[in-house]
Amino acid sequence: MKNIAILLSIAFSLFAFAKADAQKSNQRDQFEVQVDGLGCPFCAYGLEKKFKEFKGIKDVKIDIETGDFSFSYPADKELTMDAVVSQVEKAGYTPKLATINRANGKVESNATSKDAVASTNLTTIKMYVNGKCGMCKARIEKAASSLAGVSTAEWDVKTYMLTIAHDASKTNREAVATSMAKVGHDTKTAKASDATYDALPACCHYKRAI
Please indicate, yes or no, whether the overall pTM of this predicted structure exceeds 0.85.
no
CATH at 33: 3.30.70.100
Q: From the centroid of its chain, how far is CA 197? A: 23
126 and 100 inside one domain: no
The reply to whether 207 falls in a domain is no
Q: Which domain holds residue 149?
A: 119-200
The reply to whether 151 falls in a domain is yes
Per-residue pLDDT at 18: 45
Residues 144, 117: Cα–Cα separation, whole Å: 14
Residues 87, 60: Cα–Cα separation, whole Å: 15
Per-residue pLDDT at 145: 86
Average pLDDT, consecutive stretches of 10 residues, N- to C-terminus, the chain (210 residues): 57 49 70 87 91 95 90 95 93 88 89 50 89 90 88 91 91 95 96 96 88
Other CB atoms within 10 A of residue 79 CB: 18
Per-residue pLDDT at 208: 93
69 and 127 inside one domain: no
Per-residue pLDDT at 2: 56
Look at residues 62, 77, 109 and tell me which one is the last residue of a structural domain: 109
How many structural domains is the chain composed of?
Answer: 2
The reply to whether 133 falls in a domain is yes
